[in-house]
Amino acid sequence: MYVCICRQVTDRDIHEAVAQGACRMRDLREQLGVSAQCGKCANCAHAVLKEARECCADGACQQPA
């Protein structure tokens, strides 16, 4: 699902960024550009970030190939 239309960022992109060490919205903004333009994606991106961090904490996240 697209989270940020301005930068074409998907929930999968966010999960991959978290698997690579992103843990804050600032990290997503720096790595993916999330919420850097119009900002309408901020709430959704934050929810996906939280979900991705929980998945990684459970050991379910995988490093991207």
CA 22 from chain center: how many Å? Answer: 8
Tokens of 20: 């690579």
The enclosing H or E element of 13 equals: helix 11-19
Report the CATH number at residue 39: 1.10.10.1100
Q: Say how many domains are in the chain.
A: 1
Report residue 48 as tokens.
Answer: 């996906």
Residues 30-39: tens digit of each pLDDT: 999 999 999 9
* pTM score of the predicted model: 0.85
Q: Do residues 14 and 64 lie in contact, with contact meaning Cβ atoms separated by under 8 Å?
A: no
What pLDDT is attached to residue 58? 73
Per the DSSP assignment, residues forming a β-bridge with 2 are 10
Q: Do the domain assignments include residue 52?
A: yes
Structural domain that includes position 51: 2-57
- Is residue 63 domain-resident? no
